[in-house]
Structure 1
Amino acid sequence: MPHGSSLVFNELRLKEELCDAVIRVQNEDFHIHRIILSGCSEYFRCLFTRWSQPRDQVYKIDQASPDIMRLIIKFAYIGSEEVNQQNMEELYIACDFFKVTGLMEACCSFMGDHLSKDNCIDIWQLTETFVSPKLNSEAFHFIVQHFTEICGSFKFLKLSVQQLLKLIKADELLVRDEAIVFEAILCWIDHSPEERTTYISQILPKVRLALMTPEYFTTNVRNNKMVMCNTECQDTVETAQSLLDDGIVSSLGIYHPLACPRLPASILLAIGGWNKNSVAVVANSIEAYDVSTDCWVNVTNTEEETHSNEAVVFLNRSVYCFGDHDGIEPLTRVRRFDLATHTWHKVAQMKTWRWFASITALNGRIYAVGGYDQQNSLRTAECYNPETNHWIMFTSMIERRSQASSTTFQGRVYICGGFDGHGSLSSAEYYSPETKEWTMIANMSVGRYGLGVIAFEEQIYAVGGKNEGTSLNITEAYNPRINSWQTVTPMRRPRCNFGIGVVDGRLFVIGGLNSFTTMSDVESYELNTGEWSEAMSMGISRSGLSCCVISGLTNMADYAAPRHNSLDPPSVLTDLPLYDID
């Protein structure tokens, strides 16, 4: 809000009182006070003090339209930031020319918040010409994350070869398979074949050809007429063919450029837990699972003190950790790990002491439900708003539950199983923020606590857990449309108090406790086959861990296996991933 003197000066401007100069834009005059414009613009400060004479009264400006100049002058007087999708690019260019730093920052912030498939290429190109590194990086990240939808657009076809190369060689490029990249290249060349055909030898080596299926590679790449007619392309094709024939081989994350996996869209984090059934806490250990390389990477922040984090949730590019335990008693704090800066921050404590609580996120809020207060299993629930850093209590559950598990699905919070202080529960219920009520749903076939519950492919899966001291491998899927559970293929091994997450269309279970010891092994369930299969084990065996899936980060590479290639080997041994990649 502008302060009093700003409003006074602006009123004088509007009344054309005490003004000492006129800015003329396309025959439209703006009466201004030179000292006000000099305060917000380096350009006008130089114009009034160095590039003109004191007797000059009228300054003709050709570098902006009257509407844009009106916005700049209004910002200079009262700090008004009237940026919208219609004027953002023109205003950004004008602010860059006139060096109106504050309004230019507002333009960058607005454009970053309103990136879309229609404007991302325009903004990327704009910020390369009128340099804004942060916004340029955000626009580039948006393009590579939405490449499949963007690569057929007219704006994509108008890219320069340098811009195209920058996109397709990026590890961050998010594509289901490399065939999409190759076909996008063919479309780009076909848009102006006489000019662009010669670029094929530069472009083809940037495609990860050895990641294609052999059938597609042979039919569509090797036999492509343009590729066949280019000697350099033929050399690239032969190299890719040998990699396909031999299988993609990687040694400690060192890949051939034609076979280097791109960064995954999502990465699974495993945080906290207990090691080997003892009081040894591994809570400050964070491992990241890169599904594209089937590899776990240690991303532990060693500066954070050790505690056991019993629940984590990903929200707004941060991981929130709840229910800390130091091996003796519960702690009351909640922490937020900023994935961009790799730093921990304290946030408001929950209103209730909750050990073994169920935590989930819905519509920008975090829900903490049930738990154990060292005396009783709880029915109470509370909700956290990150914008206000404040917790509020909301409607209590129908059942008391600790060591239950929760998830969100179709605007509801579901919670299943748990321990009520007397025995394991087979019951489940959901909370609707609209009605502010809990509703019971059909019971699971078996009562259990320490289970994993997650929404997966239009159903809610309840996996594993413990009943009367015995770890289970049972898996059930709940269909909300018919309010019914169906037993599906059980896990290969029984486990409880494990991590769970959905990555790349597969449901993963991580670590946990069988009937005898903690586990490091991982298995995944694929809906198409209805079968569980082995995945790479963690580096640490642990139970009581929690997992979350992170996505949408501009620094996703910080949490993925390194993408070294054989032409650019790692400089030091410590650059290599903690665990080998098969």
Structure 2
Amino acid sequence: MDLVDYDFITELNELRRSKVFCDAVITIPEEINVRFPIHRVVLASCSQYFRSLFKYGNDETNKEIRISGVSSKTMKQIIDYGYLRTADINEDNFEDLFAAADRFHIFGLLKECTEFLLQQLCVENCLGILKFARFYSCEVLKMKALKYVLSYLGEIVKNSQEFVVMDIFELKDILEDDELLVKDESEVYLAIQRWVDFSYVSRRNQYETLFQAVRLAFCKREFITNVIEKNKTIRKSKKSMAAIEKAKQFLDLQDTTKTIVVSLDDPLLRPRVPSSVIFTIGGWSSEGVVNTVETYDKNVDHWYSIVPPMNSKRSYHGTVNLNNLIYVIGGFDSLRYLNSVLCFDPNKRAWQEKGPMHLARCYVSTCAVEDFIYACGGFDGRQRHNSVERYDNKRNQWSLVQPMWHNRSDAGTACYENKLYVVGGFDGLTCLDSTEVYNPLTDQWTLLEKMNIPRSGVALISFNHFLIALGGYDGGSRLATAEQYDFRRQAWGDFENMHVGRSNFAAAVLDGQIYVIGGYDGATTSDAVEVYDPADNMWRRVKGLIAGRSAVSACVLLNEGTLRDYTFYGAQSLLSLDDSGDKVYNPAENLYLMNRKDLA
């Protein structure tokens, strides 16, 4: 608001307070001696309700306007907003103000109340805010509150008293939503159990109704056997036990045939949209440098080629997620060493050029620290760098910061507690075992304890308060070994070995598990993907890439309600209906869908 506007509304309000030129008085029939002198034109300017009232429903000779069903305190705040275009909204008055703004069609005040509620949104109150938004048909508030509930159900179940008093139909709607972000279907079952147990006698008969929302084919077999089947109430339900037996049959089928069985028609087999998606970008395949992107849907253990390809081919580049946008940095296109930067917006499904780095960097190591992207070292076609650049996305500009102690390409980078860690790499002569850390506050690098093994083409992950250095090349072979840096001991120690030795591969953390993707295994550009689960301290193989690739990089995007198109659901247009019309099958995808007729 500029000075002229501020002076104008201040003077208008002063005229009201002085009762100068006022042409109407608002009274509250329920409260004696309450009178608010006003200027009709001011309230009409901010309220459709008052505009219509003054134009059609009130004689101008009658200065008294009686407004029932609202307190004088709230009416005063409504009038103040009409003059000042601002309101003091707090936890004590927001509900009355919202109701009054809705009744009087004061859309500016409704917007401010909505913004206030969104700022207050948390695990403890989100269900109440969602119910409030539905009552007043506030679509913006309802959409964002529902998205919050779907994103944090696990925390809500544990910490919200609103959860246990939910209506069964509201709970069922949430549990049946494809966009419900859960790491495992056990979370859905445990939510049902807590809701029922809160008032077991009156709610135990609701188990069967709610149990239909559990997508049992995506539960772990051990959870079905050790938890669900031991529930006495569920065991008494023929319908629930039949669903459990059907789920176990499909789990057996998946184990024996390695075929993923899903159905859009049967809730038992319908996958949810994953909480996060891995984007694996570019690299070097058997056909040379590529510009393609593959996305991984954990819930169906499958890779998809749905993302539009990059504007240019890239290998040995860096990939970073900053503010849920993908930045692809530097690299090599088979002819040129690149300093260019591309950015992919998943909402717009579009790539865009960003400000270039000062130096070309192939074999570059990249990482996001707070709101900045760092590009460390690399090779420009002539020499290995120790230089480091920092990207400011607000200015779309790179700037040089303090260089590292060592020249290095093919290093691993990770962020831990707002500091940048770099390990290993190649200096042009030898593979490196050195470790150094950069503090953005002091613009200084510090050398740390060396790794146990030299590693070039290494991946570095920040994981469970450790740094994990994975794979790489030691000058003689591709490594399946890994090691972890313990910040308390300030020393490197052993970590569980991968199944496949690899260098120049991608690594990412998804839902508390480490994924290693592709790379070079000493003979071929690999399509192999492994995942490490800290729960059992083991690596296991999962679905491989569509196309093997090394010199590849990846990042994880959080599903904020916009990643559905990059998952199983976005791939449906790639599937074809067979002649019978009963089954949808794609041999290349190893994906088999059955409708209700097949599952009967």
* Superposition TM-score tier, normalisation by shorter sequence: 0.7 to 0.9
Per the alignment, residue 133 of structure 1 pairs with 139
SS in 2 for 1:375: coil
Alignment deviations for residues 530-567 of structure 1 (CA, whole Å, 9 cap, x no partner): 443222110011122111112242134333223999xx
Instruction: Work out whether 1:123 is the aligned partner of 2:133.
Output: no
Q: How many angstroms apart in 2 are the aligned matches of 1:391 and 1:83? A: 41
Q: How many angstroms apart in 2 are the aligned matches of 1:511 and 1:537? A: 8
Residue 453 of structure 1 and its aligned partner are, at CA, apart by 0.8
Q: How many angstroms apart in 1 are the aligned matches of 2:124 and 2:202? A: 26
Residue 572 of structure 1 and its aligned partner are, at CA, apart by 11
Q: 1:458 to 1:18 in 2, by over 3 A?
A: same
Instruction: Work out whether 1:440 is the aligned partner of 2:450.
Output: no
2:303 corresponds, among 296, 305, 309, to 296
Per the alignment, residue 269 of structure 1 pairs with 279
Per the alignment, residue 580 of structure 1 pairs with 590
Q: How many angstroms apart in 1 are the aligned matches of 2:22 and 2:333? A: 67
Of 444-453 and 571-580, more deviation after overlay is shown by 571-580
SS in 1 for 2:526: strand
Q: 1:350 to 1:135 in 2, by over 3 A?
A: farther
Q: How many angstroms apart in 2 are the aligned matches of 1:489 and 1:219? A: 28
One-letter code aligned to 2:296: Y
CA contact (8 A) 1:312 1:322 kept: yes
Instruction: Work out whether 1:559 is the aligned partner of 2:563.
Output: no
CA contact (8 A) 1:252 1:577 kept: no
Of 264-273 and 19-28, more deviation after overlay is shown by 19-28
Per the alignment, residue 241 of structure 2 pairs with 237
Q: How many angstroms apart in 2 are the aligned matches of 1:252 and 1:528? A: 24
Q: Spell out the pairing of 1:406-555 with structure 2 (5 A cutoff).
A: 406-468=413-475, 470-555=477-562
Residue 183 of structure 1 and its aligned partner are, at CA, apart by 4.1
Per the alignment, residue 36 of structure 1 pairs with 42
Per the alignment, residue 411 of structure 2 pairs with 404
One-letter code aligned to 2:10: N
CA contact (8 A) 1:562 1:577 kept: no
Alignment deviations for residues 480-535 of structure 1 (CA, whole Å, 9 cap, x no partner): 22221224343333222110012233222111123333111112233455443222
Q: How many angstroms apart in 2 are the aligned matches of 1:236 and 1:4? A: 69
Per the alignment, residue 289 of structure 2 pairs with 281
Q: How many angstroms apart in 2 are the aligned matches of 1:106 and 1:58? A: 29
Q: How many angstroms apart in 2 are the aligned matches of 1:249 and 1:40? A: 64
Q: Spell out the pairing of 1:277-426 with structure 2 (5 A cutoff).
A: 280-283=288-291, 285-302=292-309, 304-308=310-314, 310-323=317-330, 325-426=332-433
Alignment deviations for residues 217-237 of structure 1 (CA, whole Å, 9 cap, x no partner): 4676556454455xxx41231
Tell me the TM-score normalised to structure 2 length: 0.84
Report the count of equivalent residues.
Answer: 572
Instruction: Work out whether 1:50 is the aligned partner of 2:56.
Output: yes
Of 179-188 and 162-171, more deviation after overlay is shown by 179-188
Residue 65 of structure 1 and its aligned partner are, at CA, apart by 4.8
Which structure ranks higher in relative contact order (CA pairs < 8 Å, sequence separation ≥ 6)? 1
CA contact (8 A) 2:376 2:386 kept: yes
Per the alignment, residue 96 of structure 1 pairs with 102
Identical columns (%): 30
One-letter code aligned to 1:273: G
Alignment deviations for residues 360-386 of structure 1 (CA, whole Å, 9 cap, x no partner): 112233222223334332233233333
One-letter code aligned to 1:247: L
CA contact (8 A) 1:23 1:58 kept: yes
Q: 1:207 to 1:392 in 2, by over 3 A?
A: same
Instruction: Work out whether 1:59 is the aligned partner of 2:69.
Output: no
Instruction: Work out whether 1:8 is the aligned partner of 2:25.
Output: no
Per the alignment, residue 143 of structure 1 pairs with 149
SS in 2 for 1:148: helix
Alignment deviations for residues 408-430 of structure 1 (CA, whole Å, 9 cap, x no partner): 11221101122334433221101
CA contact (8 A) 1:522 1:537 kept: yes
Q: 1:444 to 1:318 in 2, by over 3 A?
A: same
Q: How many angstroms apart in 2 are the aligned matches of 1:391 and 1:169? A: 46
Q: Which runs of 5+ in 2 are unaligned?
A: 593-600
One-letter code aligned to 1:508: Y
Q: Spell out the pairing of 1:150-299 with structure 2 (5 A cutoff).
A: 150-151=156-157, 153-175=160-182, 177-191=184-198, 196-212=203-219, 217=224, 221-222=228-229, 224-227=231-234, 233-245=237-249, 247=251, 249=253, 254-255=262-263, 256-276=266-286, 280-283=288-291, 285-299=292-306
